[in-house]
Structure 1
Amino acid sequence: MFMNTGLTLRTLSTASAGTGASVRYASTFRHRVSKTLVPTSKQKFVHVAGQEMVPSQQLLLRSGMMRQSSSGIYSILPFGHKILTKIEAIIDDELENIGCQKLSLPNMQTSENWKKTGRWQSAGQEMFKLKDRRGSDFLLAPTHEEEVTSLIAKEVQSYRQLPIRVYQVGRKFRDELRARSGLLRGKEFVMKDLYTFDVTEQEAYKTYDEVVLAYRRIMKRLGVPYAVAEADTGNIGGSHSHEFHILSKVGEDSLLSCGSCGYTSNEERAIGIIPTAPTKAATKFRNSEEVPKWIESLDVVPRSAVRVNPKFQFGVLKAPAADGSRDENCTLVAVATSGDREVNEIKVSKAFGNVELAGSVQAVQTLLGESKVTDLMLCVDQSLYPGQEFPRPKDVTLEGSSLPEGLSSLIGPSSWKKSLKVVYGDYHNCKPGDGCPHCQKNKGLIEPMSVTRAIEVGHTFMLGTKYSVPLNATFVAEDGQEEVPIQMGCYGLGVTRLLASIVEASHDHKGIVWPESVAPYRVVIVTSEDEGCVEAAENVYDIVQKALNVKGDVILDDRTDTTLGFKMKDAELIGYPWMIVVGKGFLRTGNIEVQHRKSGDKWSLEWPKIEGFFQERRLLAQE
């Protein structure tokens, strides 16, 4: 059955016989700016909702590649979508080369599996939670570990079915408290997530190394500077983790790296050798609160040759009561560092459990709620022992009557005696100038590390059995005697974040400078309105398209309502790698001008040399 479109077959037949239709339905299709939704703007986007825009946010708006729908949510327009498609194609190519298969998982997930793994509660308020009409709990997926593990658990029974490597590229949802920086931190985003399933831990680590190498190839093909850093596993969990970063001064992450051996780590995870000579900030620091001075008087905080005054941060460590009651065991934790060091909450929690740090002693009461302190612990940081080995842990007996008012109000009656557990370790954030741990271990040298700002675009995790055990993803081993949990890994790569990060790393005062591998079009042809120029531009299009031998990499700016100069400015803003100018110079000399966006180089080419020029550059996008 034909739907009534308002046109009869006779009308269509008649229309196609006209000259207008012959152009529209010509067999040689040419991409034209005049037929493309690319609403560029000369407006200087600077602020949104009181926040200063980062360069990628400004340029993606000005170049007509995205538009904001609401806070943290964006529509991606045709040019932006074309770039995302090219990024996805590079990812597909490299992952297929290591045996990965593409699938599609649901974005709306039941809470059942998330409750089994404990992440329904631990993921916090970043999850979009909802109920269906029957009152059942669902969420918009921020990630898919539970979903894919449950899927594999139902399909795999034997070791013969492993390994399995599956991935998807799709939308994710996180309820960001402060969505900002455009596509760098939004509520909805496109992400590639890969999940691997292996028989043994050894095979899982081999898979991990293969994926990390594939990630390195992906980043190289994207054509922007990147770094790979050792990282913390965070809420995803697991035992082994790396972050992939694009270097940019607007990045939220700080990477510490060694110029000698290449060691690179996220600031939150970095281990550094502290210089033995204390800084001025360490020696001049003075405690302002009574409680830190009291702890200092216990003589458990060390003294170096040049006095280093410690500073303290307090927190709470909660654990279920041993008798299974509703009450919690609450440990009051004090972390002592030198005055020039900040406490690293991740390192403290890694050592002892989920320690929540407070800004002051008074703020500890908010963390405690109605609970009371049952234990006391003092963590003495290595920054108070520069160049020395850690002492052994020890216990110090305290009497309630000797406590200062700040602590006694938290702990309770003054008639008790308690033991203060004193432990020593690395609980601080590293800083530029700290020594590289690898160089010290391998060469016996203290090589200072430097800091670089970067944007995290990918994260790899060796999960082990963190998800396979609670979700019963097991297989019958080769001996046929027992069921064994599958060894897992997961690997994320932010696709929309890559789009924005590339702009952050590759732009100038004129606009975006796209690498050839992901540019919406590699070549734009701009022309003046002279009839001879327009006809020549059409022919140049066909020559260059044939020379590049890749469909859809050339576009013709054939707009009649703008000047040649306006088109050239637009081309620089959008960031096409190559611009061909067919203007009045062509009418005088017969030559066309070719401009390279990144280098600024220009060539004046005679007609017979055009094809050869672009044939030589055919493979640049793959290098």
Structure 2
Amino acid sequence: MRQLVSKCFPLSLGGTHLQQNLISSARASESKSSNLLLQTGLISPSCAGMFHFLPPLLRSIKKLEALIDKHMLDIDGQKLQLSSLGPKWIWDKTGRWATFGDELLTTQVSGSHYCLSPTHEEAICSVMSQYLKQLSHVHLPIRLYQTTTKYRGEAKPHSGLLRCREFIMNDLYTFDVDEQSAATTYQSVCNMYDNIFRDLGVAVIKASAGTGVIGGVMSHEYHIKSDVGEDKVGFCEKSHQAWNLSNMTLDELPVDPEYIKEIKCIEVGHTFLLGSHYSKKLDVHYINKNQDTVACEMGCYGLGVSRIIAACLEAMSSENALRWPLALAPYKVCIIPPKSGSREESMNTDLVNELYDLLHNTTEFTDDVIIDDRTNRTIGWRAKHANLVGYPVTIVVGKTIMDTEPKLEVILQKEKDSTNYISVPDVVDYLKKQLCFRSNK
């Protein structure tokens, strides 16, 4: 079945009075991503700090999840799903029921206390404490990950998906035999994160950071530069080292202050080398070659999936139009047919569907093409909406299709929009070349 704009973007057409009131109150933000996601109907407000994800945005989220899954295979990551509810007794073992404070959302079921997990160290350790009893040192390392919804009692949610109470996160937990092996795993995961952001075509800053309530012996954060970012990072232009400045000043950094620059950023990922902090408390042990019981060396790693998408949009979009990393665009190509009743429509009744099938049957565009079927609207109106949504490519079937040599109007959403007129037989090869160039830029 062909993808149609009228079915995929219904909330961008107005919505109910209640929806508009919710959107208006949520849109009072300095965040471009928040305002534009609301305006295009890609998210719909539920309540303060919580949003419904509409079909096009969910496509983008699933694309990012698939990209992460692909890279997890490179480090032998295995996917699992942990329960969102964490029992109080196990959080008490690590002391984090108290230390998380009001950010921990709690509930009570049949007299027992639980939290909606903002992170899953306790949960994964409860699994591994049983799992590793059946295994020995020869089975390590083990690397387990999930992509799931997390919860945080954010006191003042703002900026849409950048600071909210419910969000999608990918978290990875690793188990090694000793400190050296754990450090090797840590570097492998950091390299994997670098590769993910390189595939997205987004520049990130890797900054040394404190371990906070997660704990451990070392951590790094991944940041995307943004004027609405809440984190301040000290970046050395000479060594390309960076530090989170939440617990230090520029003068305290171990480099020549002449080369240091303070940058506002959005945190999109965090890596922790945990040591045996959790494994000792929660009985995550293995049997070594001498038949001794030894606590595992652990690491935990997180990518803010929904936040990465918002941060990319924040960095790439204008005030008036979304711009996506090619790999995350909900659809790569939007086809705009002629207006109903126009001469162009009467002369080219089958061309739009033929063009859709041609692109859909090309590997690079399979399931990534959408038709703006709102043909009661002018081509110009729909082209403006396509620009707002930020499709990497918009193809207009308009007046030039009636020329002696029929051509399509192809609009490429790069740093500046560019329009080219391409013959129908050449359009696939043209787009392959243009999009591959853009994705490797």
Aligned partner letter, 2:310:
A
SS at match of 1:603: strand
Residue 76 of structure 2 is aligned with which of 96, 99, 104?
Answer: 99
Residue 70 in structure 1 maps to residue 70 in structure 2: no
The CA deviation at 1:208 is 0.2
Distance 1:232 1:71, change over 3 A: same
Query: Do 1:435 and 1:447's aligned partners in 2 also have CA atoms closer than 8 Å?
Result: no
* Matches of 2:26 and 2:435, distance apart in 1: 44
Distance 1:436 1:128 in 2: 36
What does residue 234 of structure 2 align with? 256
| Letter of the 1:475 counterpart | Y
Cα RMSD (Å) of the superposition?
2.1
Q: Does 2:300 match 1:471?
A: no
- CA shift, 1:215, in A, is 0.4
The equivalent of 1:266 in structure 2 is: 244
Q: Could you say if the C-alpha distance between residues 618 and 575 of structure 1 is closer, same or farther in structure 2, counting changes exceeding 3 Å?
A: closer
On the 8 A contact 1:581/1:593 being kept in 2, the answer is yes
Unaligned runs of at least 5 residues, structure 1: 1-28, 269-345, 347-428, 441-445
Compute the TM-score of the two structures, normalised by the length of structure 1: 0.65
Per-residue CA distance 1:377-405 (angstroms, 9 max, x = gap): xxxxxxxxxxxxxxxxxxxxxxxxxxxxx
Q: Name the structure 2 match of 1:151.
A: 127
Once the two structures are superposed, residues 3-24 of structure 1 have per-residue CA deviations (whole angstroms, 9 ceiling, x without a partner) of xxxxxxxxxxxxxxxxxxxxxx
2:48 equivalent to 1:229 = no
Q: Counterpart of 1:512 in 2: which secondary structure?
A: coil
Q: Distance in 2 between matches of 1:534 and 1:97?
A: 47
Of the structure 1 ranges 544-553 and 522-531, higher mean CA displacement relative to structure 2 is found in 544-553
Tell me if the contact between 2:100 and 2:213 (Cα under 8 Å) persists in the aligned partners: yes
Asked if 2 retains the 8 angstrom alpha-carbon contact of 1:548 and 1:614, the reply is no
2:425 to 595, 603, 608: 608
Deviation at 1:31, TM superposition (A): 1.6
Q: Distance in 2 between matches of 1:619 and 1:588?
A: 29
Tell me the CA shift for residue 34 of structure 1: 3.0
Alignment partner of 1:178 out of 148, 153, 156 = 156
Q: Are the equivalent residues in 1 in contact too, given 2:30–2:228 (CA < 8 A)? A: no
Aligned to 2:142: 164
Give the SS at the match of 1:601.
strand
> Is 1:448 aligned to residue 259 of structure 2?
yes
Contact kept? 1:547, 1:615, Cα under 8 Å: no
Take 2:10 and 2:24, find their aligned partners in 1: how far apart are those partners? 22
For the 8 Å contact 2:321–2:390, the answer to whether it is kept is yes
User: In 2, are the aligned partners of 1:255 and 1:264 still within 8 Å (CA)?
Assistant: yes
Candidates 241, 245, 249, aligned match of 1:430: 249
User: Equivalent residue of 2:328, what SS?
Assistant: coil
Matched, 1:31 2:9: no
Which of 582, 596, 606 is matched with 2:397 structurally? Answer: 582
Q: Alpha-carbon deviation of 1:533? A: 4.2
The answer as to whether partners of 2:274 and 2:298 remain within 8 angstroms in 1 is yes
Q: Equivalent residue for 1:508?
A: 318
What pairs with 1:412-561 in structure 2 (closer than 5 Å)?
A: 429-431=248-250, 434=251, 437-438=254-255, 447-480=258-291, 482-529=292-339, 530-561=345-376
**What is the CA deviation profile of residues 110-162 of structure 1, one whole-angstrom value per residue up to 9, with x for unaligned ones?**
111100011111111111111112x1111111110000011101110321221
Alignment correspondent of 2:17: none
Q: Is the 8 A contact 2:313 2:322 kept in 1?
A: yes
Q: Is contact 1:38–1:63 with CA below 8 Å preserved after alignment?
A: no
Residues 1:435 and 1:177: Cα distance change in structure 2 (over 3 Å)? closer
Instruction: Tell me, yes or no, if the aligned pair for 1:149 and 1:473 is still in contact at 8 Å.
Output: yes
Please name the residue that 2:12 is paired with: 40
Say whether the 8 Å CA contact 1:533–1:583 is kept in structure 2. no
**Deviation larger for 609-618 or 197-206:** 609-618
Separation in structure 1 between the aligned mates of residue 252 and residue 9 of structure 2, nearest angstrom: 53
* Preserved contact between residue 46 and residue 52 of structure 1 (Cα < 8 Å): no
- Aligned residue in 1 for 2:342: none
TM-score by length of 2: 0.92
CA 1:521–1:61: 2 relative to 1, 3 Å = same
**C-alpha distance in 2, partners of 1:97/1:222?**
17
Letter in 1 for 2:409: E
Amino acid in structure 1 at the alignment position of 2:67: I
What secondary structure, in the 3-state scheme, does the structure 1 residue paired with 2:334 have?
A: strand
Q: Give the partner amino acid of 1:168.
A: Q
Asked whether the equivalents of residues 23 and 45 of structure 2 are also in contact (C-alpha less than 8 Å), the reply is no
State whether structure 2 residue 89 is matched by structure 1 residue 112.
yes
Any idea what SS the aligned residue of 2:417 has?
coil
**Structure 1's 621 and 603: CA in aligned 2 closer, same or farther, altered over 3 A?**
closer
Q: Distance in 2 between matches of 1:45 and 1:575?
A: 24
Relative to structure 1, the CA distance from residue 47 to residue 611 in structure 2 (aligned partners, 3 Å threshold; closer, same or farther) is closer
- Give 1:45 deviation, angstroms: 9.8
CA–CA distance in structure 1, aligned partners of residues 362 and 389 of structure 2: 23
Equivalent residue for 2:184? 206
Larger Rg: 1
CA deviation after TM superposition for structure 1 residue 223, in Å: 2.1
Deviation of 1:560 (Å):
2.4
What are the Cα deviations for residues 319-338 of structure 1, in whole angstroms up to 9, with x where unaligned?
Answer: xxxxxxxxxxxxxxxxxxxx
Structure-2 separation of matches of 1:224 and 1:534: 41
Number of the residue aligned with 1:271: none
Q: Partner amino acid for 1:142?
A: P
Code of the residue aligned with 2:8 in structure 1: it is T
Within 5 Å, give how 1:242-253 maps onto structure 2: 242-253=220-231
2:385 maps to a residue whose letter is: D
Q: Show the counterpart of 1:569.
A: 384
Structure 1 position 256, deviation (Å):
1.0
* DSSP 3-state at the match of 1:233: coil
8 A Cα contact 1:38 1:79, kept in partner: no
Q: Which ranges of structure 2 fall in alignment gaps of 5 or more residues? A: 15-19, 340-344
**Partner amino acid, structure 2, of 1:612:** D
- Partner in structure 2 of residue 138 of structure 1: 114
Tell me the CA shift for residue 591 of structure 1: 1.0
Say if 1:73 and 1:186, in contact at 8 Å, map to a contact too. yes
Alpha-carbon distance, 1:102 to partner:
0.4
Distance in 1 separating the partners of 2:27 and 2:34: 14
> Could you tell which deviates more after superposition, 151-160 or 606-615?
606-615
* Contact 1:547–1:614, Cα closer than 8 Å, also in 2: no
Q: For residues 622 and 605 of structure 1, what CA distance do their matches in structure 2 show?
A: 21
> How far apart are the structure 2 equivalents of 1:507 and 1:533?
35
Relative to structure 1, is the Cα distance of residues 46 and 107 closer, same or farther in structure 2, using a 3 angstrom cutoff?
closer
Q: Name the SS of the counterpart of 2:385 in structure 1.
A: helix
- 1:9 alignment counterpart: none
